[in-house]
Amino acid sequence: MSIEKLELVSIAGDLPQLNEAITACLRSKVFHIENAAKLLGSAEDSGGAYGTTNPYAEPLRSLLELDLRKIKIDPDAEPLPAEFTPEQILSETKRISERLKDVRAGIASASKQITDYESAAIHLKHLQRSELDLGELTKCKHILYRFGRMPEENVQKLEFYSDAGFIFQAYHTAHEYVWGFYFASQERIMSADAIMKGLLFERYELPPDLTGTPEQALADLQIKQTERKAELEKLEKEESSIYETEAEQLGRMYRFAKYESEVWKLRSQCILMPEKFSLMGYVPVSEKETFKKYIDKVPEISVTYEAPWADSKVQPPVRLKNGWFTKPFNMFVEMYGLPNYNGYNPTTFVAITYTLLFGIMFGDLGQGLVLALIGWFLDKKKNFSLGAIMSRIGVSSAIFGALYGSVFGFEEALDPLYEKLGISALPLHAMENTNLFIFGAVGIGAAIIIISILVNICVRLKQRNYEEAVFGNNGLAGLVFFGGALLLVLGIVTGKQLVSKPVVIIMLVLPLLLMFFREPLGHMMAHKHYEMPGIGDFIASNFFECFEFLLGYATNTLSFIRVGGFVFSHAGLMSVVMLLSEMIGGDHKSWLTIIIGNAFVMCLEGLIVGIQVLRLEFYEVFSRCYDGDGKPFTPISVTFDDFSDIRQPEQAANA
């Protein structure tokens, strides 16, 4: 298919109308903004001195501190014009923050205490068998203690510090750690701390209000923990009640502040003067009327439409235009890179070749239909982008599987059908038609390469790049050379002289010479001056480049042998599954083994084949005829569900 045609839109007017013009562009959802200064090559200010500071940045920041994830924001609701001033938003946000302040502080405190109690409970559980009085321990003035854990392998090293003036007491071992505590006098505690830190002792402070034995302290701790959890639940309900009460007001303020803030950010893309502004961008021709419905409502502005500038340093954005069958394959093109605006859309070529090659390599009637059904489900029910591609390649696999006679690995399942229909040439069993699949794969590869070269010639001629279009290895010279090489190889394989030897020699030697001198010839054809480097450098560099071209033709063509190889691979894997089913099932095949085997082969081979076909597309096709140097068409819009910058409630409470 093609690339969506765009029109360059230039909007100019008085500076007070700028925000209203940007708002109209936003609401149209079809306007791709460009930096006007870069587009015009202008030295005028682009959102600088006359842009002023965004007045909605601070109100928006204060709103985000309230954790708007707790309310529902309708992303489709449009904010009303001039609904709030920045001062009103700040005032309302401060009022709501004051209502939440004590509640959020209480939630943060309760959450921290619960976490501390949970950590303390872990230590106390390890100390349950001890009769140690924790209350007496905390009252010690001359002896200090440290609780924690250390790696089990380091415990033996404590023997080297027996005279260091501290004692370590272990009380539990688990997961390669020893839990315990050490104590020392006030004079020795600092040196003990240094030694234990070197032994990777992880210190933990027990709550100071623990009393009694560890078992008694644990029981008291669990009671306190239950009380704090109940208090936390009460505070969270109170917080939810406040958010619920203020939800409508918060939602309106957030939508308005976010929208206005984005409008002010977009001012940086405009040319601003003391009294005037200039705003520029692109609109698809097919959606021009939609855009005009919004922009025509803005009074006292000038709007002009024209074709994208061919001589501009800023390339127009690209939106691919594809049909129902090819549209899902956009993702593969975008993975490699979009074409430039004056390039061509390779999606149709990719869709056809990818579907064809995958079907050949994964050919199985039963597995193909299952793959198509899974893809349909993922596409329609789960909105999974790869699902639509899976449904298409699944159908292709089923078609080729029918030609091979393979149904869930049963290679003879369709033999009676073809016998009844009187089609002796089918099915094409892989192991019985080895040469057909190998030479057929190479033939398909050669055909795809030739088509790629033809596409490249057309694209380069359109760009007036005569060096690549006529004299390049993927140009006219390369096409003639590759054709001559194919005729030569085909004559050797078949034993027949398809064309005379002089013609073959001319088809090989003349294009090779043209490729060798492609740079000066290309400059001559384009009427440009060519500055010859040193003769030695010229000969050496072009010799090795031509040698690389020759290797490329051979390796790229032979790379397609994998297409036939995966046909044999599929047949081989399924024969192993059938053999295992017979071994397990005895006289009767084990259907469970067949089902598991088919599932395994579908997952493994489907993934590998998908990657290999994509590799063929990128390295053998795209590298010959495609430059993915375009930028995507991205209409300006405002989203209301991105809260990635929201601070956590406890952070806001401590701010």
Q: 377: closest CA among 386, 367, 368?
A: 386
How crowded is residue 567: how many other Cβ atoms within 10 Å of its Cβ? 27
Give residue-wise pLDDT tens across range 592-647: 888 888 999 999 988 999 999 999 988 888 888 888 888 899 999 888 766 544 44
End-to-end Cα spacing for the chain: 56
pLDDT for res 378? 92
pTM of the model: 0.73
Task: Name residues whose C-beta falls within 8 Å of residue 539's C-beta, 6 or more positions apart in sequence.
Answer: none
Q: Which fold does the domain 112-228 belong to in CATH?
A: Alpha-Beta Plaits (3.30.70)
SS3 197: helix
Q: What is the pLDDT of residues 297-342, one digit of tens each?
A: 999 899 999 998 877 778 899 998 888 899 999 989 988 888 888 8
| pLDDT, position 609 | 92
Domain ranges of the chain: 112-228, 320-625
Closest listed residue to residue 162, CA positions, set 182, 148, 137: 182
Please tell me what DSSP assigns to residue 323.
Answer: -
Cα 626 to Cα 537: distance, rounded to the nearest angstrom: 29
Exposure letters 612-640 (e unless 16+ CB within 10 A, then b): bbbebbbebbbebbbebebeebebbebeb
DSSP string, 78-92: PPPTT---HHHHHHH
DSSP conformation letters of 545-606: HHHHHHHHHHHHHHTTHHHHHHHHHHHHHHHHHHHHHHHHHTTS--HHHHHHHHHHHHHHHH
What pLDDT was estimated at residue 233? 92
pLDDT digits (tens, 9 = 90+) for 362-380: 988 999 999 999 999 998 8
Cα 471 to the center of its chain, rounded Å: 38
Res 284: pLDDT? 94
Peptide bond into 427 cis (omega under 30): yes
Which residue ranges of the chain lie beneath pLDDT 50? 644-655
